[in-house]
Amino acid sequence: MQKDKILQNSKNAQKIADLIFPRTNYFVLCPSGHNIGHLVQEYILAATISEKFKKKLVLIEPINSCNSEILNIIPENICVIKKGIRVALLKILISIITLKIKLNNFFHKILKKLFNKSFFTLVHNPYPVCIGFEENKKCFRKLIGSNYYYDADLMSKRPSFELSYKQNNISEKLYKQTGLKKNDWFVCLHIREGNYAGYSQIRSCSIENYYPTIKFINKLGGKVIKMGDSTMKKVPKEIELIDYANSDYKSDLLDLYLIKNCNFFLGCSSGLAMLALLFKKDVILVNFHDFIGAFFGNTKAILFKNFCEKKNRKKLDFIDFIKSPDYEIYIKNFSSKTSDNFYLEENNPDQIFKLVKNYLNKKDLFEISKYKNIEVGSHSQDHVNLTKLNKKEMISQLDKSKKWIEDEISREVGKISYPFGAYNKLVIDNVKKLNYKKAFTTRFDFYHKHYDDFQIPRVDIWRHDTKNIFISKLMGKWNWMKYFSNYSYVEY
């Protein structure tokens, strides 16, 4: 296996770090700062390891960091050291080694150009100097104390991170420049166009496919903020989007503040999603291409790019693809993710829209379930007339709906409203067997103790109700429609 260039560059710096900050009491981290995904992930893992083994965390800001504010974020219940003579010595040492690497690399390129031949130099690669890493015999380097570089188990046990008092104060002033008000809810959107780190057929995607979703979020009263950098494509004015990526007020600090305060993060195969993970924000990933890192942290929904057959340009079912021989090729061939049999295609606008809409429906359901005076009940799986089903189909409709809602809101569901108000003795019997406690009909009346628990009437709330009518219904003064109801009880 080829030796890791970063570990080669960092060998002497790691020895000095271990000498002045013994591993028994300290974890020293100088991350690879050229890529935001790696920078954030390494910081999360270092903080988690420090907390797990009760060590003090020493942070060394990397040279040429892609975001100078990330290491100023404070991990909860961890002693962080960023200043002092020993830290200064390590910074000087890293600077000297880095300069040596750059000089060696520069002279190697000159010699190669002059003589059209590669010459041996002590170090001739541009990889950074890092501290806090060790060799992983299986694959890639890893942080000291972790199992592997993408240690999902450790990531799941990460501590909470908060912006510092100074960061918050400055961010609140910068936030006003976005045009957002204090109570506005917004979504951070980031797509990988390819200008920042080079175009990639498997990772890059087009913002045009997100337009219907952006319009949908706007219709719900939300705002969409496009994250990224000034190299990104500008969006037409008719698309209501805050183009933060191309704004004059974009900054490293505001990147953090916006993601920390967003309603959710809509991303793809790019490192910026790691910032949402850092702040434990809900993450939706679309146009994803890699199984590694796909289910870290708060990923609530994920949509892989479409797998398509080259022969007939037909979309492959995701499960069928995993079972096929091409899956092994996909996993091994990290650079291109292609073979002679298949290729990857972007998610279309309808796929992205449906995924986000489904997430928001679930999120609303969970939020509603928190209210003390609101109880979420079942209404069958597919809103079918239960009396027209056989016993097996009926039980499936009643059971699946109940379990799905319980999984979403993390509490027991004990009530059901019969679809179309249709029920009979068999329906009531199966409702009872599945541990429902009460069931509601379409009969218009208020509830009284003498009513059967599985034939309870109800008062509908309609969207055109005035405030006075709504209050009257809540107070039990709007039941005149019961006199027009043609309704009879089911004996059982």
User: Cβ distance 90 to 30 under 8 Å?
Assistant: yes
User: Cβ distance 121 to 100 under 8 Å?
Assistant: no
Of residues 31, 37, 36, 76, the one with CA closest to residue 58: 31
Q: Is residue 162 one of the residues assigned to a domain?
A: no
pLDDT digits (tens, 9 = 90+) for 248-302: 999 999 999 999 999 999 988 788 989 998 999 999 999 887 655 555 567 888 8
Residue type, 424: N
Better-predicted residue by pLDDT, 416 or 488: 416
Once rounded to an integer, what is the mean pLDDT over residues 406-434? 91
Given 321, 356, 391, the domain boundary residue is 356
User: Cβ distance 264 to 202 under 8 Å?
Assistant: no
pLDDT digits (tens, 9 = 90+) for 216-232: 999 989 999 999 988 88
What per-residue confidence (pLDDT) applies to 356?
Answer: 93
The band of 365, judged by pLDDT with boundaries at 50, 70 and 90, is confident
Do 186 and 210 lie in one domain? The reply is yes
Better-predicted residue by pLDDT, 478 or 17: 17
Burial of 76 (0-12, 13-18, 19+ CB in 10 A): exposed
Better-predicted residue by pLDDT, 2 or 460: 460
Distance (Å, whole) CA 397 – CA 385 = 10
Do 15 and 144 lie in one domain? The reply is yes
Better-predicted residue by pLDDT, 329 or 129: 129
Q: Is residue 337 one of the residues assigned to a domain?
A: no
Give DSSP secondary structure letters for 223-282: EEEE-S-TTSPPPPTTS--B-GGGSTT--HHHHHHHHHHSSEEEE-SSTTHHHHHHTT--
Distance (Å, whole) CA 455 – CA 423 = 9
Do 70 and 129 lie in one domain? The reply is yes
Better-predicted residue by pLDDT, 123 or 235: 235
Cβ atoms within 10 Å of 146's Cβ, excluding its own: 22
Question: What share of the chain in percent tops pLDDT 90?
Answer: 45
Q: Is residue 198 one of the residues assigned to a domain?
A: yes
Torsions phi, psi of 479, nearest 5?
Answer: -120, 25
pLDDT digits (tens, 9 = 90+) for 302-325: 888 888 887 777 787 777 777 777
User: Cβ distance 205 to 242 under 8 Å?
Assistant: no
The band of 442, judged by pLDDT with boundaries at 50, 70 and 90, is confident
b/e code 376-414 from CB counts within 10 Å (16+ = b): bbbebbeeeebeebeeeebeebbbebbeebeebbeeebe
Do 199 and 120 lie in one domain? The reply is no
pLDDT digits (tens, 9 = 90+) for 142-184: 999 999 888 888 888 899 999 999 999 999 999 999 999 888 9
DSSP class of residue 177 equals: G
The band of 137, judged by pLDDT with boundaries at 50, 70 and 90, is confident
Do 352 and 419 lie in one domain? The reply is no
Given 94, 121, 156, the domain boundary residue is 156
Do 246 and 209 lie in one domain? The reply is yes
Q: How many domains does the chain divide into?
A: 3
Do 151 and 189 lie in one domain? The reply is no
Cα-trace Rg, the chain: 29
Q: Residue 350 is part of a domain; what is its CATH number?
A: 3.40.50.2000
What per-residue confidence (pLDDT) applies to 268?
Answer: 86
Supply the mean pLDDT for the chain: 85
User: Cβ distance 386 to 378 under 8 Å?
Assistant: no
What range does the domain containing 263 cover? 173-305+346-356
What pTM was computed for the model?
0.76
Given 121, 156, 191, the domain boundary residue is 156
Q: Residue 421 is part of a domain; what is its CATH number?
A: 3.20.20.370
Do 298 and 393 lie in one domain? The reply is no
Do 381 and 403 lie in one domain? The reply is yes
Burial of 472 (0-12, 13-18, 19+ CB in 10 A): middle
Do 54 and 99 lie in one domain? The reply is yes
What per-residue confidence (pLDDT) applies to 429?
Answer: 93
Distance (Å, whole) CA 94 – CA 12 = 9
Q: Is residue 362 one of the residues assigned to a domain?
A: no
Is the model's pLDDT at 470 over the cut of 60?
yes
Q: Is residue 321 one of the residues assigned to a domain?
A: no
Sheet holding 283-288, edge to edge: 223-226, 186-189, 264-267, 283-288, 299-304
Give DSSP secondary structure letters for 320-341: HHHHSTHHHHHHH-TTT---SS
Once rounded to an integer, what is the mean pLDDT over residues 410-438? 92
Do 257 and 400 lie in one domain? The reply is no
Do 184 and 283 lie in one domain? The reply is yes
Is the model's pLDDT at 140 over the cut of 70?
yes
